[in-house]
């Protein structure tokens, strides 16, 4: 017997069926028997998984946002319509200051192992399995002191024939953690009637003795709830 070996590369995603010519020998001529004289094999060329990450919310207000935390989610997609992916893995090292929250609230919608230790500056996911045309979402809560945290994951990888293939994409997003800013807006208007939905303006011409009404509007334009708000106007006499 004689064995010939050659490396080939798939140029397009999908199933590639390769059929050889009939084998030939000078003594016997061509063997056109489909079972013994012609060889065929199918090569499945897989597209790598894609990954997208998202901080929700992208702005964390300390003391206002629940848990002072943002939910960091990774959505991994298998773009292959007829083949599943196994051994799906990625890691994400956070910028300094950003850590896994306590509790971490880690979760995954597919099989695999998520490592997310409260207080750690990174997370990882290994051994994921995603069916054909499927997706997997991996989530964990993160927190940190005030700052701007741009973050990019490692390339998402998978396993083919026992070998790890790291030709997937990376994923990037930014979370901002900040102290809330208190702010108030105040407006004073005058009108010819007391109808709150009536005609109000900053100026009204009247004759002496005409009755007028004032509308005072206080709006919380800041980033946190406010209490103990009081308004006074020394120019108004409400006694009569």
Render pLDDT for 98-109 as a digit per residue (tens, 0 to 9): 999 999 999 999
Is the omega angle on the peptide bond into residue 57 within 30 degrees of 0, that is, cis? Answer: yes
Report the candidate in 153, 140, 44, 139 with the shortest Cα–Cα distance to residue 99.
140
165 strand-pairing partners:
158
pTM here is 0.72
What is the token pair recorded at 3?
A: 């064995």
pLDDT digit string (tens) for 173-232? Answer: 999 999 998 899 999 999 999 888 888 999 999 898 888 898 989 999 988 888 999 988
């Amino acid at each position: 017997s004689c064995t010939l070996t050659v490396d080939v590369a798939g140029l397009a995603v999908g199933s590639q069926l390769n059929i050889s010519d009939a084998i030939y020998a000078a003594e016997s001529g061509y063997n056109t028997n489909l079972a013994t004289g012609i060889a065929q094999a199918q090569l499945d060329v897989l597209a790598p998984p894609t990954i997208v990450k998202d901080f929700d919310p992208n702005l964390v207000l300390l003391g206002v946002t629940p848990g002072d935390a943002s939910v960091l989610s990774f959505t991994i997609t298998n773009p292959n319509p007829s083949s599943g992916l196994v051994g799906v893995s990625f890691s994400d090292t956070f910028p300094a200051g950003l850590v896994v929250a306590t509790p971490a609230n880690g979760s995954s919608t597919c099989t695999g192992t998520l490592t997310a230790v409260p207080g750690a500056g990174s997370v990882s996911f290994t051994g994921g399995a995603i069916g054909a045309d499927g997706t997997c979402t991996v989530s964990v809560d993160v927190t940190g002191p005030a700052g701007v945290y741009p973050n990019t994951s490692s390339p998402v990888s998978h396993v083919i024939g026992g070998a790890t293939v790291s030709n997937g994409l990376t994923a990037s997003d930014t979370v901002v953690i900040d102290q809330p800013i208190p702010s108030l807006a105040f407006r004073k208007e005058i009108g010819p009637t007391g109808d709150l939905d009536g005609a109000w303006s900053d100026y009204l011409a009247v004759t002496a003795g005409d009755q007028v009404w004032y509308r005072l509007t206080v709006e919380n334009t800041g980033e946190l709830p406010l209490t103990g708000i009081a308004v006074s106007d020394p120019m108004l006499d409400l006694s009569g």
